[in-house]
Amino acid sequence: MTRVALLFTVLLATLTACTQPAPMRLGPDGKPMPAVYSIGERQADQIQYRMLDSVNELRRAAGASPVRLNAQLNAAAATHARDMSVQNRPWHFGSDGSSPIDRVRRTGYPGQMLGETISETFETELETLAAWMQQEDTRNVILDSRARNMGFAFHQEANGKIWWTLVMGS
């Protein structure tokens, strides 16, 4: 009986190795179609720290001091990421008319809010950071030499769309 089970296992492994992977989907331009970046609950903290590490590396290369995650700025970023999803538009004002300064103030953050970057995308956090770095205004927020704290959060919809918010504070 053991030999039959072993033979069956080897046969199954062999057949599994012979199966073809799903073909890559190509868009009308002939380039590969992107896969949905689905964020699981266990990845949320990793994403925040991956973004923090990446921002700090960019800041180091630009001669700016590192920033650290701040719970109050994270809360302001999370509130806005979810609110942009509800409004279904990427912009800096909340559905209640609040500005980034208002949202940071509501959290009790004692420093000055220096800037906010936002995005509506299906891309990863690092692809989003790369896009922010290509734009002068968002790059200036990320590399602001006065920044000492960072808030970063996202909200992902069921369809995969992600609303990213990054807030810098002194």
CATH number at residue 117: 3.40.33.10
- Give the integer Cα–Cα distance in Å for 43 and 51: 12
Q: What are phi and psi of 142, to 5 degrees?
A: -65, -35
Residue 79 inside a domain? The answer is yes
Tell me what pLDDT residue 43 has: 82
Structural domain of 122: 64-169
Residue 19 inside a domain? The answer is no
Residue 97 inside a domain? The answer is yes
53 burial (CB, 10 Å; 0-12 / 13-18 / 19+) is exposed
Residue positions counted in the chain:
170
Residue 107 inside a domain? The answer is yes
As given in the structure block, the two tokens for residue 31 are 């380039």
Residue 38 inside a domain? The answer is no
Tell me what pLDDT residue 17 has: 46
Tell me what pLDDT residue 36 has: 67
Compute the half-sphere exposure of residue 104: CA atoms within 13 Å on the CB side of its CA.
Answer: 24
Tell me what pLDDT residue 27 has: 72
Residue 3 inside a domain? The answer is no
Residue 129 inside a domain? The answer is yes
The count of domains in the chain is 1
User: From first to last of its 170 residues, what are the pLDDT tens digits of the chain?
Assistant: 555 444 444 444 444 444 444 566 677 887 776 666 677 777 877 999 999 999 999 999 999 999 999 999 999 999 999 999 999 888 898 889 999 999 999 999 999 999 999 999 888 999 999 999 999 999 999 999 999 999 999 999 999 999 999 999 99
